[in-house]
Amino acid sequence: MTRRGTIDALAARLTGLYDAREARSIALAAVAELSGLSPSALLTDPEAELAVEGLEEAAARLAAGEPLQYVVGHTEFYGRRFAVREGVLIPRPETEELVDAILHGEREARRLLDVGTGSGCIAASLALGMPGTEVFAADISDDALTVAAENFQQLGAAVTLRKADALNGLEEAFPERFDAIVSNPPYVPESDRAAMHPNVRDHEPGLALFVPDDDAIRFYRAIARAGRRMLTPGGRLWFEIYERAAAEIVRMLGAEGYTDTEVRKDLFGKPRMVCTRLK
């Protein structure tokens, strides 16, 4: 089959899950990954013959709704390749904005903690971008801890990784004091589950996504309370947030003794990040 035909055939199998444009984009990326050819090479000579090993298995997984990142085993984040697989949340572009803000806003931090590290994308990016900062990372998921450790080793990121529950006993797991704590915790209300795209809802770990409707900011509150004991005087919290929870999170942080709280918007103008300082 030709390069064009291979991409068209795969895109056709995905059109029931995605719109035509996204289906073709996923098909092109998958064929490029499996063939070892760049997307531009595939498009430049579309009539060249192409045999792709493992394409049928990948196509079946994609057609079943599995995210492309899990099928190929990695994703790009902040200019680096991170391993991902089932049980580990796939990093999002908005989290790159959080990393960028911290890299510019915490240049003097001596010690930093990433809570709920998942794939380790935040911790590794900060460790590599802030070589003078001692970076720590926590997660409660064994799957996440395994993948994060692999990514730290592969990228040469010096990160101290420990198993810890963000909701209970975080300060016992990390007796150190930190100049900054960052977290992209679970924040999607359970009531939003049904509206999510099936490739996220049915394949990415619910543990890293969903929170009860009646306590949607539970992780932010728990981390803020732990932060009162874990942060150095004037230390800062950095959170990625659910846009509809911004006002509630700001009120909570004020009640917990934080000041200079700033809500920042993402590239699409949605509230997506909070930075606050311990009094």
Directed axis angle between helix 121-129 and helix 93-105, to 10°?
30
Say if strands 271-278 and 231-240 run parallel, antiparallel, or are unpaired: antiparallel
> Looking at residue 144, what is its pLDDT?
97
- Give 82-95 pLDDT, tens digit per residue: 999 999 999 999 99
Does residue 267 have a pLDDT over 90?
A: no
- Residue length of the chain: 279
Report the percent of the chain where pLDDT is more than 70: 100
Cross-strand partners of 254:
none
Residue with tokens 């390069």: 3
Find out whether 146 and 204 touch, Cβ atoms under 8 Å: no
* Single pTM value for the model: 0.94
Residue in 266, 263, 185 with CA at minimum distance from that of residue 224: 185
Output the CA–CA distances (angstroms, integers) from residue 113 to 15, 159, 204, 241, in the order listed. 42, 9, 24, 17
Averaged over 8-31, what is the pLDDT?
A: 95
Q: Average pLDDT, whole number, for the chain? A: 96
Average pLDDT over residues 248-263: 97
pLDDT of the residue at 210? 96
